[in-house]
Structure 1
């Protein structure tokens, strides 16, 4: 029997994430599993992510390879995946989510509050830019690209700090580079951050792959990231919209909070709502999640989110 083929980008982080899934899928299916490397425009261009098209820039080449039967499944960082359904493809599994927080990696063990006035902090995320400026208007925020190692190498050289995801650092064995993990209460991260997504072609999958996908899927993580991504979709937000969202489940209650920032960090709007997750099927609980996300979106738009950032038809 031929091996199952996982399509992945060639970056160290993408390979590390795909290898995690490879090992679990091989154990669950009893089949050989191999990686197939796919190069995207986002891997070769030095332009900013917002210029290239943001979240979709890494996914498009991978999805084309999957639809062309060059691989059997894809492993994505969920925060990099567009919210719109791609024709012919579906999310087969969302494994248990890792740490959703952002990590500050600064010289000399400094925290965000300890960085000196005028410190240079690198990030390629409009959300992180807005959050940095909201917290510290005195900082010089530098737009950066590159893999995790190349970004970390700039700390102590031409940058005082960089912002990265805690989950990515953990998967690369580099969490020791973090000097502060930023709490989600005051620093909400990107919708879906910390989660991986396994994408497959629509239609019947081989029985062993179906078995593997069921073993990998984590219901609570799927509900949480769906809630966060439904906010992004409901706001009709693109890559340039600085939005943070956090969902948690506590004693059967799903709590969802989302914040829209003005890009310069001078204003922000937050909305929070909750829903009791009644016992039942995944589909019934996803309907409850969709309802609570809709309430968060409605409140943000009613309170003027479209005047702050490019969401919901706004021109900010």
Structure 2
């Protein structure tokens, strides 16, 4: 099969076709999502977990072409999308069956490749960790990103009020179309001041990290929950514990790639199950739609990375295989 190992060269090579191990299916890949984790891996900062493929790619869509022993609920020919620990930039990939999801009804198979990472990330962090409830205020930083565009839609569909930050009027207009109520240009606006006028944010989903830690804490409402899923603004910052305690607030940090496939409520299987149960009906009803910025052939993966790195993308960047 053709594949792109996770090195800086971004070169397509020939690798042996994967064989399904116990509990695995093989997916003939139609498309793969491009994520910031791939950019970090290319730079040598985010190696795959032990035992995972070193080929780029954390999500795919395609058709099951082989099924290993012990697989439950999946058959050859099923159209699926899947969450991966690695291996997506390839014509075939082996996936634990617990990380496989059906393509939602009415969704194009290519567009489905942009769902697993964003849907599972938002479900696990906004709902399962952040416990967002109807009527609460939700702030997502980077509202034009793949995660941001999905988080806005899910929170809106849940009945939350949604605030988001982005860097220009065009991106904020797209966020408004997706359901954002409060639009904040982070270059000119003070999100702390804006959120304070609204009583603070009950849940904040943050991709920035250290740079925004103090401001995020100030922007939280009493009993607010800050969930950090990225470090684009650095990894180390000082936390005012007194301010945290005064608000009875919480700060959580999570990753998805390194979680175990099974083993409890924090496993990928638990997250995938919850996502299919709660998000897939909203996609099939049209309340949530995949937001696709652009697609590139597998051989142009370097250009796809450049598009994501540019900061100009709105939604997901995909590779067609």
Could you tell me the TM-score, scaled by structure 1's length?
A: 0.25
Which has more helix, going by share of residues? 1
